[in-house]
Structure formats: structure tokens, C-alpha cells
Amino acid sequence: MRRAALKSLLVALVARTAGGLLQPPVCFDLDQDVSVDQQVCWELPANYTYELGSLNATIDGRLRTSSPFSLPCFSNYNGISVDRDEQLCSQIQTNYRNHAFRVDSFSSSMNPQYETCIATGSQCLLDWRNPRNPEANNGISCELGGVAEFYIDVHNPGDVQAAYLFAAKTNTPLSIKNTGHDFMGRSHRRGSLGLWTHNLDAMTYHPAFTPESCDDSGSFRAITVGAGVTFDQVYKFAHDNDVLFIGGYSQSVGVSGGWLMGGGHGVLSPVFGLGVDRVLQIKIVTPDGEYRTANACQNPDLFWALRGGGGGTFGVVLESTHLVEPNIPIQIANISYNPAPAQQREFFEILVNDSVRWAGLGWGGHANRRGLVYMNPLLSPTEAQESMGNMTAFARSHGGSVNFNTLPWYDFFERYITEEQAPVGTLVTLGSRLIPKANFQTEAGRAQLVELLIKQSAALGFPNIIPLAGTPMSRLGVPGETSVTPKWRSALWHLVTTAWWNYNSTLEEIRGTYGRVHDMVQEMRKVAGPDSGVYMNEGDVYETNHEEAYWGENYARLVQVKRKYDPLGLLACWNCIGSQGAAAFPCYPRLDV
Ligand SMILES: Cc1cc2nc3c(=O)[nH]c(=O)nc-3n(C[C@H](O)[C@H](O)[C@H](O)COP(=O)(O)OP(=O)(O)OC[C@H]3O[C@@H](n4cnc5c(N)ncnc54)[C@H](O)[C@@H]3O)c2cc1C
Ligand SMILES: *[C@@H]1O[C@H](CO)[C@@H](O)[C@H](O)[C@H]1NC(C)=O
Ligand SMILES: *[C@@H]1O[C@H](CO)[C@@H](O)[C@H](O)[C@H]1NC(C)=O
Ligand SMILES: *[C@@H]1O[C@H](CO)[C@@H](O)[C@H](O)[C@H]1NC(C)=O
Ligand SMILES: *[C@@H]1O[C@H](CO)[C@@H](O)[C@H](O)[C@H]1NC(C)=O
Ligand SMILES: *[C@@H]1O[C@H](CO)[C@@H](O)[C@H](O)[C@H]1NC(C)=O
Ligand SMILES: *[C@@H]1O[C@H](CO)[C@@H](O)[C@H](O)[C@H]1NC(C)=O
């Protein structure tokens, strides 16, 4: 019945707006040159409380009012005195940079600038470098910042359908949050109704899975996860079922959300493909109100768009099913060195000189300031050690350290991940480029790349270098089957640059940091080529011509799919397909003023 109501409402609205997009209800004319706080108004439509109440009644009371993650540490909320909660505050201080703790909170963001409204300074942050620093909270007013005032704790398709109906009736934008890892803050939006998929935590192992309606296409060993499941959960579950799940390099990134829909790389991707190459089926409620199954045999246009077009765009995913591999042992190379400037150049040269060969052998991993931790599911221990010969000789001759190991994936994950994964709870932004294999194949190209890495280290600190295979070895990763930019398929590295700021940095300083990352990305673009591609989940927030960089030739078709399934534009996020432009997102600082 609710679906019928939504359908007829949507039909009426589409007719009225002639297919155009509705304007969201908040006001946006924000002039960042003036001191601003009051100028961003989060205007709620008349009769909103009534509508919220009836929404809540249709979803069994799962509508929640949000409050800032760090509020328990403050004695003032929105200018009004409140009681601090010492016990909760102490827990927050202890766990400020803890993955599991943050993932359980709707209002938290792993990159907490998106808990704030950066452009207005409305915030409620602790000092991430020292969460017990009293200067961050004593006598300071806490504000909701960039977080949605209300959210639904999503349990079933009906919850999402009710949210679409509410959004269309009240002209309220929607936002979708899973774990809050998005580096562009796309899972938070002030003024929106949030949809939190965190509590969809079911997992099923299928010894023989056939995508629905694909009766004659064979069956696969697979795992189905609810949209709230994170990598630490699925890796453990896969290990318990003696299979290998190919996913990201983090405990708390979600399997089915932004990671999957944006591409989804992991350290085993050079051999086993990206997340989009391995997903077999997605269940999703599209903004036209339908609960759909998308796979190769049903809604194939949607299935294609969901494999690269990005999260928060085509609907709310409730579950996804992924191909798994035999639980084979993995070779691990942990090689570190003393990153003095003289040694840094040599380290970069070896990385650059040996990358084509390593990619051909199936190595993946991360290289960072400490050295590299690479893994390989194809080689024997002896072959692994031999192939890393130049790097181990380098490390040994400069007092570095070399450790080789052979472990099942889950043991590797448990032992290495906490020291190797990217930190959370820090105010950080990044930019990146997919570096084509061709850059590694000429002497001039290699030399240029080494100079870029040295420049990057000097300007912004050591880059994060993530190798990808230029030509995926498995049958996976066929260009055209997914909607990620085809540049993934000819890239050898995903090269990332990062920069941090402080809890009390001024808007000017924050803009400066985003700007420095943006400028470094232009240097990276010069080397990778003017039409080089970018991973849409780890791009510069201000990526120039992001449509081309994230999706390349797939962009136009993605826009068509977006219009088909979301004719009213109920879902929008920063630099997503159908994103409605920067003016719709007034909390992002403008770099051009
Ligand atoms: C510490 C850290 C480590 C990372 N490691 C990796 C890595 O190893 N490999 C890699 O590829 N990337 C990695 N990333 C990037 C990561 O892929 C992106 O941040 C991704 O957007 C996270 O998706 P999420 O759903 O977990 O996060 P969220 O921030 O909750 O969501 C991200 C986007 O997806 C949308 N979305 C979320 N849930 C749903 C849903 N159920 N239905 C529809 N849309 C949804 C949101 O609206 C948002 O647009 C890392 C990021 C961080 C901060
Ligand atoms: C609010 O909306 C309801 C249902 O549409 C209506 O019955 C009620 O009169 C409205 N109240 C106001 C104050 O507009
Ligand atoms: C929604 O209803 C539940 C149950 O009645 C209630 O506990 C909750 O506070 C309501 N949510 C909002 C935002 O009013
Ligand atoms: C070491 O590097 C040289 C020069 O780049 C290369 O020719 C050789 O194959 C590498 N050897 C090993 C064992 O990695
Ligand atoms: C990797 O090597 C470094 C340097 O020896 C060491 O500090 C670190 O603990 C190693 N990592 C693991 C998980 O063994
Ligand atoms: C890397 O290769 C270049 C030639 O392309 C060579 O000049 C340089 O010495 C090599 N570096 C190392 C550390 O092997
Ligand atoms: C920011 O906070 C630090 C630590 O609390 C303090 O030393 C510094 O002076 C502050 N900077 C500004 C600009 O307020």
C-alpha cells in the first residue's frame, strides 16, 4: 500500500516538475567572504514535525534524533548549558581514533571534519592529536555541524520506501550512511534525512550461489552480507567457512556501500579484481520506490551502474553477494627502511623500476613512510623472496628490516591490519591518481615518476603507493562490464597524497590544506596524463572535471541510469552522478574565494 502511495505521488511530482529536480529545502546563498554562521539556514518546511511523526509511525518508531558524537564532553550545546557526561566523555576520549567505536555511531565520521559544517565553523570536535586536551571542549559550545538532524535506523525495504515518500512530500533531501568512511563526507548532509544501514548485519555463506533469474549461468561459492557488515566481520566469517573474501585494507570499511559501488580495491585486487568485479548480486530500494534485485540477469543496467557509479546515488543497498576464493596461504613481504632523504630516492627507484615485474607476479600491498608490506597469493615462499631481491638487498644494506611470512589471509589481517591500515578520527583529506602502466615502461617515464614521489614527499609527506595490476590476471575485470573508469584496467599504481590539520584550524587554514592537496594532484596529473583516471572514493574533493576522471566514457550512460531510477533526484551527494552542483552542499569550503 505504501509503495502504491509512493508510486502515485512520484508520478504526480514528476508531471509537475516535468522531470526536473526539486530544490532541497535549506537555503544556500552563502558568502564565505563574510562571517557567516547565521547565513546557512536549515529551513524546515511548515508542518514538518507532523510529517516526521507520521513517518516514525510507519517505520515502527525507528526515526532517531541525532546528537554530535563528542557532545558528552561539552557543557554547552547550541549556546545552552547542558550537563557533561564524564563517563561517556572518557570513553569517547579513549576511543576517539578507534574504528569499532566510531562505526557504531550515526553522527560520527571517520574523517571528523564531516561532522562539522566546515564553511561555517559549526562543530563539536575534540583535539584528535590529544583527545583529552581540555582546550577543545572547556567553555566551548558544541553544535551539530554537518550531521543530519534526523535519521532512520534502516531495518527493511519498507523503511526506505517510507523515507522516499517523506522526502518527496516534504522536499527534504536524503543521505545514506553506512560506516562514515567517505573521504568527501558524502555520508553526512546537514538538512537531510539520514538513512543508516549499519544495523543490517546478516551474513550467509553459499557453497553454490546462483544469481536470481540466472538459472543456467552456473553457480559460485559466495557470501551474502547485509549492508552494514564491515570487513573485519566478513573476513572472520569467510575464515570460519574456510574461504577467502577479497576486500579492503581496513577493519571498519563497509562491504556493500561506498567501497563496493565506487570500485573497491584491496591488496589482493591485482590478482582477484576490484569489489565491482566480484559482486554477483545487489538488493536495493531505488528512489522510484521499488525493491529490486540487480544482477547480470535482472536490472542489468542498474547492476552495471552500481558497479562503479558510486554510493548514495542509485538507491539504498540492503545486501550484496560476492564471489569468494579458496582459503589459500598468502606470501607476505614486510620490508622497512630508514627513510633518510638519501635512501628515500633509492627506495622510490626500486619501487618504480621493479613495479611492472612485481605486478606480473601478482604482488599487491601498500608502500608508505616505513617501507612496504606486500602480499602475493600466487608465488611459493622462495619465489616470493627471490622476486623481492632488489628491495631486500637495499633494506639490509641500510640497516632496514626484512620479514617474509606465509599466512592465511585472516591471520595476516589480524596481525598486520591495526598497524598498517589508514588511521581514523583524524582531520585529513587526500587526492590521488591512477598511474598508467605506460609510465613505468620508459626510462624517461620512470625518472619522471621518481621526481614526482620526491616532490610529493617534500610538500605533503610520504605518499601512499598502492600497486594494482595493469592487466588483471583473472578472468575478472573486463572493461565495459562495470562503470568504473576504464583507466583502472591500464593502471599499475593508485598513488595517494594526504594532508592533515588541527581541531582548531581556521577556515583559511583548512581551505589552504584542501588547496595544497588539489595543487599536488595537478602535479600528479601532469605525470599520469591530462586524461588520467581517479578512484572516485579517494579523489581530491575539488577534482577538476571529476566526471571524466571518475567515470571516463561511462559517465553519460550513468547519468541516464540515474534519471531512470531517481527521476526526482531524491538522492544527491558531493561529486556523485546527478550531484546537483556545489551550491547544494554549503558546508564544503570554496577554494576559489
Ligand atoms: C580508514 C580508511 C580506509 C580505507 N580503506 C580502503 C581500502 O582498503 N580500499 C578501498 O577501496 N577504499 C578504502 N577506503 C575508502 C572507502 O572505500 C570509501 O570511504 C567508501 O566510500 C566507504 O564506504 P562506506 O559505505 O563504508 O562508507 P560511508 O561513508 O558510510 O558511505 C560512502 C558512500 O556510500 C554511500 N552509501 C553507504 N551505504 C550505502 C548503502 N547501503 N546504499 C547506498 N549507498 C550507500 C554513502 O551515501 C556515501 O556516498 C578507506 C577509507 C578510510 C577512511
Ligand atoms: C499538517 O498536515 C496534516 C496532514 O496533511 C494536516 O491534517 C494538518 O492540518 C496540517 N497542519 C498544518 C498546521 O498545516
Ligand atoms: C519515534 O518513535 C519512537 C517510538 O515511539 C520514539 O522512541 C522516538 O523518539 C521517535 N523518534 C522521533 C525522532 O521522534
Ligand atoms: C633488480 O633490478 C634490476 C634493475 O632494475 C632488474 O634488471 C632485475 O631484474 C632486478 N632483480 C630482481 C631479482 O628483482
Ligand atoms: C613489519 O616490520 C617492522 C619492522 O621490522 C616491524 O616493526 C613490524 O612489527 C612488522 N609487522 C608485523 C605485523 O610483523
Ligand atoms: C632504476 O632504473 C634506472 C634506469 O631506468 C637506473 O638508472 C637506476 O639506477 C635504477 N635504480 C635502482 C635503484 O636500481
Ligand atoms: C590550537 O590548539 C592548540 C592546542 O590546544 C593551541 O596550542 C593553539 O594555540 C591553538 N591555535 C589556535 C589558532 O587557536
Share of the chain above pLDDT 90, in %: 80
Q: Is residue 160 part of a domain?
A: yes
Residues in contact with ligand 2 by the CB-under-6-Å rule are: 47, 50
Q: Is residue 463 part of a domain?
A: no
pLDDT at 44 over 70: no
- Ligand 2, pocket-test mutation among 48, 50, 54, most atoms within 8 A of CB: 50
Tell whether ligand 1 has an atom less than 6 A from the beta carbon of residue 395. no
Which residue shows C-alpha cell 546478516? 202
- Ligand 3, pocket-test mutation among 44, 52, 63, most atoms within 8 A of CB: 63
Nearest ligand to the C-alpha atom of residue 227: 1
Q: Are 312 and 353 in a shared domain?
A: no
pLDDT of amino acid 75: 97
Which among 149, 230, 249 has a CA at the least distance from the CA of 193? 149
Whole-angstrom distance, CA of residue 489 vs CA of residue 485: 8
Q: Is residue 456 part of a domain?
A: no
Q: Are 48 and 181 in a shared domain?
A: yes
Q: Are 153 and 115 in a shared domain?
A: yes
Average pLDDT over residues 171-191: 96
Q: What is the CATH number of the domain that holds 395?
A: 3.30.70.1060
Please tell me the least confidently modeled range out of 259-263, 326-330, 466-470: 466-470
Q: Are 37 and 116 in a shared domain?
A: yes
Closest-lying ligand 6 atom to the alpha carbon of residue 443: 5
pLDDT of amino acid 73: 98
Domain termination site, one of 375, 407, 439: 407
Query: 508: phi > 0 → left, psi -120 to 50 → alpha, else beta; which?
Result: alpha
Q: Are 161 and 74 in a shared domain?
A: yes
pLDDT of amino acid 479: 58
253 CA distance to ligand 1 middle (Å) = 6
Average pLDDT over residues 64-72: 97
Q: Are 100 and 225 in a shared domain?
A: no
Q: What is the CATH number of the domain that holds 272?
A: 3.30.465.10
pTM for this one? Answer: 0.94
Which among 433, 550, 544, 531 has a CA at the least distance from the CA of 483? 550
Q: Residue 342: which pLDDT band, with cuts at 50, 70 and 90?
A: confident
pLDDT at 476 over 70: no
User: Higher pLDDT residue, 164 or 37?
Assistant: 164
Average pLDDT over residues 5-33: 44
Q: Is residue 532 part of a domain?
A: no
Q: Are 164 and 210 in a shared domain?
A: no
Domain termination site, one of 352, 381, 407: 407
Average pLDDT over residues 428-449: 96
Average pLDDT over residues 568-589: 93
Q: What is the CATH number of the domain that holds 75?
A: 3.30.43.10
pLDDT of amino acid 369: 83
Tell whether ligand 7 has an atom less than 6 A from the beta carbon of residue 133. yes
Tell whether ligand 7 has an atom less than 6 A from the beta carbon of residue 504. yes
Closest-lying ligand 6 atom to the alpha carbon of residue 350: 13
pLDDT at 72 over 70: yes
pLDDT of amino acid 527: 97
Domain termination site, one of 388, 407, 426: 407
Q: Are 317 and 333 in a shared domain?
A: no
CA 336, 337, 339, 341 torsion-angle sign: negative
Q: Are 151 and 268 in a shared domain?
A: no
pLDDT of amino acid 192: 94
Q: Is residue 525 part of a domain?
A: no
Q: Residue 48: which pLDDT band, with cuts at 50, 70 and 90?
A: confident
314 CA distance to ligand 7 middle (Å) = 42
Nearest ligand to the C-alpha atom of residue 127: 7
Closest-lying ligand 6 atom to the alpha carbon of residue 390: 14
pLDDT of amino acid 39: 45
Share of the chain above pLDDT 70, in %: 90
Q: Are 291 and 394 in a shared domain?
A: no
178 CA distance to ligand 3 middle (Å) = 21
pLDDT of amino acid 8: 64
Q: Is residue 62 part of a domain?
A: yes
Whole-angstrom distance, CA of residue 561 vs CA of residue 549: 19
pLDDT of amino acid 110: 98
Q: Is residue 451 part of a domain?
A: no
Residues 6+ positions from 297 with CB-CB distance below 8 Å: 211, 212, 213, 214, 217
pLDDT of amino acid 294: 98
Domain that holds residue 35: 2-199+567-584
pLDDT at 9 over 90: no
pLDDT of amino acid 171: 87
pLDDT of amino acid 570: 95
Q: Are 387 and 350 in a shared domain?
A: yes
CA-nearest residue, atom 9 of ligand 3: 64
CA-nearest residue, atom 8 of ligand 5: 334
pLDDT of amino acid 478: 59
pLDDT of amino acid 481: 87
69 CA distance to ligand 3 middle (Å) = 19
pLDDT of amino acid 469: 53
Distance of alpha carbon 77 from the chain centroid: 30
At 359-410, the pLDDT tens digits run 989 999 999 888 999 999 999 999 999 999 999 999 999 889 999 999 999 9
Number of folded domains in the chain? 3
Q: Is residue 375 part of a domain?
A: yes
Nearest ligand to the C-alpha atom of residue 174: 1
Please tell me the least confidently modeled range out of 47-51, 218-222, 468-472: 468-472
Q: Are 35 and 184 in a shared domain?
A: yes
- Listed in sequence order, the DSSP H helices in 495-582 are 507-528, 546-551, 555-565
Residues in contact with ligand 6 by the CB-under-6-Å rule are: 346, 349-350, 353, 443, 446
